[in-house]
Amino acid sequence: MRIRVLKSKIHRATVTEANLDYYGSITIDRHLMELAGLMENEVVLVANMSNGTRHETYVIPGPAHSGVICSNGAAAHLVNAGDEVIIMAWAEMEQQQAINFKPAVIMVDKKNQPVENLPV
């Protein structure tokens, strides 16, 4: 049996910008993407800790070490600059493989710089 598990997350990132006039996605600092194992165009779930909304979108890379977290397109109605979000990605694997799998958890400070990586 295959199951879907948390692959990685960027925890409590601060949204730096919301850009309604973009065709869609979330821009994430390329360095944070690498730490979290996120690929360009990968689907993520964004949970907004500030207002409780959740939405699914795809990742586009922003400049490395910039701290950028920008909600683009229609999702900009759900996320405002200054909101804290959790960005999560999933993986499908066999149930037996999932027993020992540890997701990447990237903790960031208020400027979206990594502070520590912890297993869930």
Hey, is 97 helix, strand or coil? helix
Residue tagged active-site, from 25, 50, 66, 71: 25
- pLDDT (0 to 100) of residue 117: 56
- pLDDT (0 to 100) of residue 24: 78
Catalytic, 25? Answer yes
- Tell how far CA 57 is from the center of its chain: 10
Where in the chain are the domains?
A: 2-111
Residue tagged active-site, from 8, 58, 66, 71: 58
Hey, is 101 helix, strand or coil? coil
The torsion angle over the Cα atoms of residues 120, 48, 55 and 112, rounded to 10 degrees, is: -70
Could you read off the pLDDT tens digit of each residue along the chain, which spans 120 residues?
999 999 999 999 999 999 999 877 999 999 999 999 999 999 999 999 999 999 999 999 999 999 999 999 999 999 999 999 999 999 999 999 999 999 999 999 999 999 965 554
Q: CATH fold of 2-111, please?
A: Barwin-like endoglucanases (2.40.40)
- pLDDT (0 to 100) of residue 56: 97
